[in-house]
Structures are given as structure tokens and as C-alpha cells.
Amino acid sequence: MSKYLAIIKDSLREALASRVLWVVLVLITILLLLLAPASYHEDLTWRMRDNDVQEWPDLMVIVRDEADATEPSPARRIWSLLPEKHQSELASVKIPGVDQDAQNPFEFFRVFGKFKGEVNKLLERRDFFDDESFNDVKMLSKELRNLRNEGVDELSDQEVARFNRLLMEASFPEKIRASSSTSIQFLYGWAKVFEPFPLRGSNVRETVQAVAAWVMKWFVGAIGIMIAILVTAPIIPQMFDPGSLHLLLSKPISRWLLFLAKFVGGCAFIMIGATYLIGGLWLILGTRFGVWDVNILLSIPIYLFVFAIYYSVSSLIGIVWRSPIVCVALTVVFWLICFGVGFAKIGFETRVWNKTQLINVIEAGDTLLVGNEMGIVQEWDDESSEWKPVFVSQDQKEVRPVMMFMTSIPSA
């Protein structure tokens, strides 16, 4: 048994001597290092973005019109807390679509940008809320009422900002859209990437799982198989080199066990590489995104099984032609054939087979009728022992071949 283990070790050494292998390992390491800093954290939603307000110019007009008001109101409160410089700019700017003599859109966009920034700064202030200004505001949100009952002094900085955001939504319900309670801030290392998205952590984890499944299916499952074949293709042909073959046959071992040992050696090497890549991705997804999906690890034996199928083809070609290039080329052809067959199978099931499946059962007296996805009603014929269509018009017979290849059947 030890002599066969020695052959497997020799196969691993041959693979380790491949430059392509080291390039692949370096690329995997770089990929894992690039993905490792990515993460996210979940915060309370408080910042107002561009699409959170239906019409920012209208909100600017509402606040501007409260400049000379004497009665307290939410808009008057916003105006009073704005810096004096911005108050003067807001009072003098001509807003397109509102002011008739508005001719300088660049000045408006400059003031608009400052206005949005100042409003978000106000949301972080603990003195934004006062009873007089927001006395008539209907606090319909349970979250808003709970934060109000706790008191501003008892809230954290984020809870204060969230409370003020909810106040704005309640004060201007027709202008400011209701927001989700939490937002997701994506991070790369310590740097924030993009603005916070109004999502929950569970939504992010579901999306990450879906993306990981797609990567495992196409990047690892398809491209990874071809790379693995490229790396291991020389193992079997090199076994027939005069020096290697004479040395191996000088030992008391059978030829089929020699071939099997070489084959197992190639599979063992790929298992190490796949475990390094997939295990690294699993750790990154778990530690950085909280996605500890065991199914990702289960893809390692699945990947190895699929590779063994293609590698058996490559090994057989290596025995016949004894050329690594021919091994790779014909294995790629075999992969394309398998991919084409699988694609044709999915297309046939989706466009043809599923259209004829029975989806409805109807009792009509003593007769049992069934209907398929194309809406064709059928009745069982005892003489021919098959379902035969009934109530089929001439038009349905003519369009049936076309309906078989439609992705969806339009409803009447």
C-alpha cells in the first residue's frame, strides 16, 4: 500500500511544480484578501436622501414661507434652526417651477444641496423637538410614540436622529416618504461604501446567500472545473514519459492500480485547492456578513465529484493520445456537449414538457376532465389508454405548436 501512496505523493509534487497552479493559488489568495475587508452594519434609518422627499423644492418653499410666521410649526422650527447665512440664501434663491423669474438653475442646485445637508444636520440635534412646534403633529407611528415617551434625554444619538426623522415624516406626510426602521451601511475595511440603504440585515444576508449560490454555480462550478482540468491535465500524459514509466513499472505494481493512484492524486490535489477557495469564502461570509451556510461547504464534495467526472475523461484521453493539450481541448469539447445537453433539457422542460403537465382536475358528472397549462381540456379514453383533448376549437389546434414554445401563456 505504501508504494501507491508514494505514487499519489509524486502526483501532488507534479501538480505543485505547475506554474499554472501557482498562478491560480495566488489569484485565489488575492481574491480572498480583496473580499475579506467587505462587511456591513445595521443602523437606525434617519438620514434623508434625494428620493426620500417627493419634491425637495416644495419642501424648501414650505420652510421659506414660514420665515415671517409667528405661530410655531414644524416648518417654522426648521427655519429657526438653520444658520443665518443659509436663511438668507434660501430666502433669495429663485426656485424653478415655483418662482416665475427663476433663471439660474445652478444657484438653485447649490442652495438645494446645502439645504438638504442642513436638514440632515438638524436631525442629529437633541433640541430639534419642542412641544409647541410639533403640538399639532399626529404621531400615528408606534415607533415614534415609543421614542417620544422615553424622552429625548434617555435616547442614544442614533435614536435621537431616528426620532427626529419620524417627526419630519409625521409633519410632512405628503412630502416625505415613510422609511424602514433600519438601514444597511456597507463597509470596506473602515471606509463607508455608498449611502445607507433602507434594508434589514436579514435582507442583506438573503441577498448574499443568493449571490454566493450564483458564484458557486457559475464561477466555481464552471470556470473552476476548467481551471482544475488545465492544472491536472499533464499528470496522466507525463506518466508515459520514458524515464517516469520505466521507473514506475520497475516496481511490483499493476498498471490499473498505477493509473488509479495517479487519478486519486489529481483529485486529492484539486480537493485541497477547492477547500482553500470555498472554505475561505465560507469564513469570509460567516465572519463579515453573518452567513454561516453549511451548504457552501457541502459544495466542496459536489465540486470534487463533478471534477472527477471530467478528469476521468481527461485521463482517458491522456492514455490514448498522451498529450496534455489534447486532454484539455477534448475535455472542453466534452464540457460544451454536457452544457448543451443540460441547456436543451432545461429548455425542453420549460417550454415543452411543462406545458403539457396537468394542473387542473374537473369533475363533470361521471366524467373526469383535466386541464394543462395551455388551457386545453382532456378526457381519458379507455380504448386507447390516453388523454384526449375535448372542447378544442380549430383556432386552438392551429396555435398549439406556437403555445408550446411560449415562456408564459397569456390569460384570457
- Better-scored residue on pLDDT, 263 or 156: 156
Whether the predicted pLDDT of 411 surpasses 50? no
C-alpha cell at 153: 434625554
> So what's the pLDDT on residue 409?
47
Whether the predicted pLDDT of 70 surpasses 80? yes
Q: Do residues 14 and 68 both lie within one domain?
A: no
* pLDDT tens, position by position, 233-255: 887 777 766 655 545 555 556 66
Q: Do residues 330 and 230 both lie within one domain?
A: yes
> So what's the pLDDT on residue 412?
44
Q: Do residues 54 and 94 both lie within one domain?
A: yes
- β-bridge partners, 252: none
Q: Do residues 215 and 346 both lie within one domain?
A: yes
Tell me the residue range of the domain where 111 lies. 50-179
> So what's the pLDDT on residue 8?
61
Question: Does 45 fall in a domain?
Answer: no
Residue corresponding to grid cell 434594508: 199
Residues 149-161 have a mean pLDDT of 91
Q: Do residues 56 and 168 both lie within one domain?
A: yes
Burial label for 270, CB within 10 Å (0-12, 13-18, 19+), is buried
Domain count, the chain: 3
What percent of the chain clears pLDDT 70, i.e. is strictly above it?
A: 81
How do 367-372 and 377-381 pair as beta strands? Answer: antiparallel
Residues 365-379 have a mean pLDDT of 73
**pTM over the 0.75 mark:** no
Whether the predicted pLDDT of 173 surpasses 70? yes
Q: Do residues 348 and 213 both lie within one domain?
A: yes
Q: Which of 144, 179, 214 is the last residue of a domain?
A: 179
Question: Does 195 fall in a domain?
Answer: no
Q: Do residues 259 and 338 both lie within one domain?
A: yes
* pLDDT tens, position by position, 16-33: 666 767 787 888 899 999
Whether the predicted pLDDT of 52 surpasses 60? yes
Residues 275-297 have a mean pLDDT of 91
Question: Does 190 fall in a domain?
Answer: no
**Banded model confidence at residue 230, pLDDT cuts 50, 70, 90:** confident
The top-scoring range by mean pLDDT among 9-18, 201-210, 362-371 is 201-210
Residue corresponding to grid cell 433640541: 127
- DSSP assignment letter at 184: E
Instruction: Mean pLDDT check: name the lowest of 218-222, 330-334, 355-359, 398-402.
Output: 398-402
Residues 43-65 have a mean pLDDT of 88
Q: Do residues 130 and 243 both lie within one domain?
A: no
- DSSP assignment letter at 351: I
What value does the mean pLDDT of the chain take?
82
Q: Which of 322, 337, 352 is the last residue of a domain?
A: 352
Q: Do residues 278 and 382 both lie within one domain?
A: no
Question: Does 154 fall in a domain?
Answer: yes
**Banded model confidence at residue 353, pLDDT cuts 50, 70, 90:** low
Whether the predicted pLDDT of 171 surpasses 70? yes
Q: How large is the greatest C-alpha to C-alpha distance in the chain, in angstroms? A: 105
Q: How far is CA 273 from CA 12, 220, 228, 262, 279, in A?
A: 12, 11, 9, 17, 10
Residues 334-338 have a mean pLDDT of 90
CA-based nearest residue to 63, from 130, 122, 144, 103: 122
How do 358-364 and 367-372 pair as beta strands? Answer: antiparallel
Q: Do residues 400 and 271 both lie within one domain?
A: no
Q: Do residues 114 and 230 both lie within one domain?
A: no
Question: Does 60 fall in a domain?
Answer: yes
Q: With contact defined as beta carbons under 8 Å apart, do 11 and 265 qualify?
A: yes
Question: Does 184 fall in a domain?
Answer: no
Question: Does 198 fall in a domain?
Answer: no
* pLDDT tens, position by position, 177-194: 888 888 888 999 888 888
* pLDDT tens, position by position, 384-402: 777 777 766 655 555 555 5
Question: Does 193 fall in a domain?
Answer: no
- How many other CB atoms are found less than 10 A from the CB of residue 225? 19
Whether the predicted pLDDT of 159 surpasses 90? yes
Q: Do residues 131 and 228 both lie within one domain?
A: no
Q: With contact defined as beta carbons under 8 Å apart, do 145 and 166 qualify?
A: no
